[in-house]
Amino acid sequence: MGQTLKCVSPIDGTVYAERETMDRDAVAALAARMRQAQSGWAARPLQERVDLVMAGVAAIGAMNDEIVPELAHMMGRPVRYGGEFGGFEERASHMADIASEALADIQVGEDDSFKRAIKRVPHGLVFVVAPWNYPYMTAINTVAPALIAGNAVMLKHATQTLLVGERMAAAFHAAGVPEGVFQNAFLDHDTTSALIAENTFDFINFTGSVGGGQAMERAAAGTFTGLGLELGGKDPGYVMEDADLDAAVDTLIDGAMFNSGQCCCGIERIYVHESLFDAFVDKAVTIVRGYKLGNPLDSETTLGPMANVRFADLVRAQISEAVAQGATAHIDTFVEDDGGAYISPQILSNVTHDMRVMREESFGPVVGIMKVSGDEEAIALMNDSNFGLTASLWTRDIDRAVRVGDQIETGTVFMNRADYLDPGLCWTGCKNTGRGGGLSVIGYHNLTRPKSYHLKKVTS
């Protein structure tokens, strides 16, 4: 008998949804059926696959009025923000638009004797393990291009957002994507690891914690299964002396606090040139004091609960430790802070890299702000991290941003923006943030394998 997966709502601590996990034999049989269906799917014309995937995307859009409050119940994001369909559709649409070019044969050359080309062919069965913080957008990053490229896709979602994969599968099936090539699966960790170890999948994309990524690598060891991993982050912002101060404060603080700080590329530490430091902190404090913490189903709420009490407990512990070590906390406890999932946002100054809050992932509504003397010090501090997803640079000088960006150990460098995923660019990281790359042309390359054709012509 399988386990029962329970989504506990951060709104009130009650069980919002539950599903039974599939046993190992049942999932193995499902995977075998998907492998059989995949070849027929890959043989369909590319444009047909594109059209069916985009019809599935539209079907999700038609559910948005139901999805938005459902997300609030499952992971706490306020309904006022309208869900994820904008980014979900933007990413899928871009991948659909570039599919023909990204998947086109590479013509190496042809003469009287030979024709040579490199094709992009699907891996086969792709396993997508998606996180709870942006459950639709993170899933579509891989689901859409994997299906468009001709793969079959098995999707496993985090228990915290238990219903998302089920909704996606239902929408895509209703739009005409064959059930055999796209399935949602409810799996426990042991079954997941066993399936990976048995070489059930041809490619795995995992978004989650560093520990989760390590478990994936251990399970896949010796199988030669390709892995795409997006793991932890501690993304920095750097405000130079020539920055547009108001724009920098507005964007970086929103990047730190939106979704209760539970963003893959959220801002977790900010370095500000000494000439702007005091003004930056004052403006940041004013913004955060204006937030309304509360029930995410209330349209007035701007900051909902964290997805789980244990996540909030980690953030509180980091803040308490930092204050005990000399940090200054600028935000008084909100009256709505219940000591559980509802947690007050916090801005810390007088922080150092000896503090956990500046070195370990927080993934919550807290940000530390440090004063720096210039580029050299800022670069050293930004690189003083085990993570490397994005960095946000604030200056009016593009050349300077490029020079600084070239020295920062991250997958993406932003200038005068933050906390955004451009589907035309490769979404990637370094260090403990992971390996691989999603979206863009490179995303298609990672979801296919090259196959070379060296064809000798018969000339007599």
Domains in the chain, number? 2
In DSSP terms, 206 is beta-bridged to 129, 229
| The pLDDT value given to residue 352 | 98
Q: Are residues 247 and 197 in the same domain?
A: no
Q: Collect all residues with Cβ–Cβ distance below 8 Å to 274 and sequence separation of at least 6.
A: 371, 372, 373
Q: Are residues 67 and 80 in the same domain?
A: yes
């998907």: which residue's tokens? 34
Q: Are residues 203 and 289 in the same domain?
A: no
Q: Collect all residues with Cβ–Cβ distance below 8 Å to 290 and sequence separation of at least 6.
A: none
Which residue of the set 70, 230, 268, 361 is catalytic? 230
Query: Does residue 428 form part of some domain?
Result: no
H or E stretch at 268? strand 267-273
Q: Are residues 248 and 218 in the same domain?
A: no
Residue 264 falls in the annotated catalytic set: yes
Q: Are residues 280 and 341 in the same domain?
A: yes
Query: Does residue 306 form part of some domain?
Result: yes
Q: Are residues 452 and 344 in the same domain?
A: no
Q: Are residues 207 and 243 in the same domain?
A: no
Residue 426 falls in the annotated catalytic set: no
pTM over 0.95: yes
Q: Are residues 130 and 36 in the same domain?
A: yes
Which residue of the set 7, 263, 264, 426 is catalytic? 264
Q: Residue 83: left (phi > 0), alpha (psi -120 to 50), or beta?
A: left
The CATH number that applies at residue 189 is: 3.40.605.10
Distances (CA, A) of 288 to 10, 307, 314: 21, 20, 20
Asked if residue 142 lies in contact with residue 174, where contact means CB atoms within 8 angstroms, the answer is no
| The pLDDT value given to residue 435 | 92
Residue numbers of the domain that contains 328: 235-423
Mean pLDDT by groups of 10 residues along the chain of 460 residues: 91 98 95 98 98 98 98 98 97 98 97 96 98 98 98 98 98 98 97 97 97 97 97 97 98 98 97 98 98 98 98 98 98 98 98 98 98 98 98 98 98 96 97 96 98 93
Q: Are residues 190 and 307 in the same domain?
A: no
Q: Collect all residues with Cβ–Cβ distance below 8 Å to 250 and sequence separation of at least 6.
A: 287
| The pLDDT value given to residue 1 | 56
Asked if residue 233 lies in contact with residue 385, where contact means CB atoms within 8 angstroms, the answer is no
The CATH number that applies at residue 292 is: 3.40.309.10
Nearest to 162 by CA among 7, 2, 3, 27: 7
